[in-house]
Amino acid sequence: MTIPGALAELFSLAGQRALVTGASRGLGRAMALALGAAGADVVCASHAPGGAAETASALRALGREAWEVSADLADRDAVLALADAAERAAGRIDILVNNAGTIRRRPARDHAIEDWDLVLRTNLDATFLLAQRLGRAMIERGAGKIINIASLLAFSGGITVPAYTASKHAVAGLTKALANEWARFGVQVNAIAPGYMRTDNTRALREDPGRSSEITARIPAGRWGEPEDLAGAVIFLASRASDYVSGHVLVVDGGWMAR
């Protein structure tokens, strides 16, 4: 079946420029490549210089422009400098994907305050600062897409991850708060809540046979998600197809939340 041109254009990102944090691997790399496949040029952000080189190279192989920037997202000044660098490189940012995050696993009674600070600064503070900094220009232009990456732990408490859970609940709330203020300016702010995905953050769970089996048994799809499973969601939320979607947390979890 041939998709009518008007429908295809709804999902096209041709001429758009995106910034994806945590683009070196996992979910960030998959989403950056998906945006590129849909026509966007992409600024690939990573923790260390050169960290997103492979992602940028893969984007250029698709015929897209791609740039690399880096920053420690736990450093507020570095986050703002990253936003400046992204705009200098690409000229403007039409789509912001706040994907980068970190996790520390330890029981709440033993959770070090240093770990708490690191997780909250990386997962929450950086998300707000980048949205605020780049959102101002989107508001002035009357158009923009901000996609925050939440988690199933935006809805539940988890085990031994108090800081991560707090940060992802906050990301979901921040998404709604920004959407309430900015939708009238043509800026849509939404979030994706991935389920149990095969990434570095879930390695400890996947390497625990008992825990991995418990998780898989609860997923109606019968498998862990792959980073590429987010491709459709991120393209939808970045495109004109979602122009009347605002403040939504889109769960991509193989059915976990329905069980």
- Listed in order, strand segments (DSSP E) in the chain are 17-20, 41-46, 66-70, 95-98, 144-149, 187-194, 249-252
The Cα-based distances of 164 to 3, 97, 119, 155 in angstroms read: 41, 18, 6, 12
Confidence at residue 205, expressed as pLDDT on a 0 to 100 scale:
83
pLDDT in tens, 22-45: 999 999 999 999 999 999 999 999
Packing angle of the helix pair 162-182, 113-120 (nearest 10 deg): 30
- pLDDT band (50, 70, 90) for residue 139: very high
* Burial of 163 per CB tally in 10 Å (0-12, 13-18, 19+): buried
Q: How many CA atoms lie within 13 A of 230 on its CB side?
A: 33
| pLDDT of 199 strictly over 90 | no
Give the integer Cα–Cα distance in Å for 120 and 110: 17
| pLDDT of 255 strictly over 60 | yes
The answer to whether 55 and 45 are in contact (CB under 8 A) is: no
What value does the mean pLDDT of the chain take? 96
Give the H/E segment covering residue 165: helix 162-182
| pLDDT of 56 strictly over 50 | yes
pLDDT in tens, 153-187: 999 999 999 999 999 999 999 999 999 999 999 99
Confidence at residue 2, expressed as pLDDT on a 0 to 100 scale:
57
| pLDDT of 92 strictly over 90 | yes
* Residue 149 in tokens: 């990456």
Give the H/E segment covering residue 27: helix 26-37
User: Which residues partner with 145 through β-bridges?
Assistant: 95, 188
Give the residue, 208 or 133, on which the prediction is more confident: 133
- Classified as helix, coil or strand, 117 is helix
* Residue 126 in tokens: 């950086």
217 C-beta neighbours (distance < 10 Å), count: 9
Residues 211-239 have a mean pLDDT of 95
| pLDDT of 5 strictly over 80 | no
Residues 66-74 have a mean pLDDT of 98
- pLDDT band (50, 70, 90) for residue 114: very high
Confidence at residue 122, expressed as pLDDT on a 0 to 100 scale:
98
Superfamily of domain 14-250: NAD(P)-binding Rossmann-like Domain (3.40.50.720)
Domains of the chain, by residue range, sit at 14-250
Whose tokens are 């809805």? That residue is 155
Q: For 200, list phi and psi in degrees, rounded to 5.
A: -60, -35
| pLDDT of 141 strictly over 90 | yes
The answer to whether 74 and 122 are in contact (CB under 8 A) is: yes
Q: For 143, list phi and psi in degrees, rounded to 5.
A: -165, 145
* Residue 225 in tokens: 């998600």
Confidence at residue 1, expressed as pLDDT on a 0 to 100 scale:
45
**Catalytic-residue membership of 164:** yes
The one catalytic residue among 164, 196, 224, 256 = 164
pTM: 0.95
